[in-house]
Structure formats: C-alpha cells, structure tokens
Amino acid sequence: MHSSYISQGLETMFNMAPYNQFLYEVREGFTKRVRPFLF
C-alpha cells in the first residue's frame, strides 16, 4: 500500500512538473518583490 501511494505521488508530480515550474517562478518573483517590505 505504501509503495503504491509513493508511485502514485511520483506520477502525479511528474504530470504536474510544468505547472509546478510555473508556480515556482511566480512564487520566486513574488518573494523577491515582497521580501524588502517584510524584512
């Protein structure tokens, strides 16, 4: 059960890779823009 859960998670992660890359870039840009105001 545990191994099938992991393989399902990996499959989902690979399918979502382009979307995750997009989110990562958005988050990085947001962090760079907001960080000077927060710290």
pLDDT at 39: 57
Query: Is residue 8 very low, low, confident or very high in pLDDT (cuts 50, 70, 90)?
Result: confident
pLDDT at 38: 66
Q: What is the mean pLDDT of the chain?
A: 81
Helices (H), the chain: 2-15, 17-38
Question: Dmax over Cα atoms in the chain, in whole Å?
Answer: 46
Q: How many residues does the chain have?
A: 39
- What mean pLDDT is predicted for residues 23-36? 86
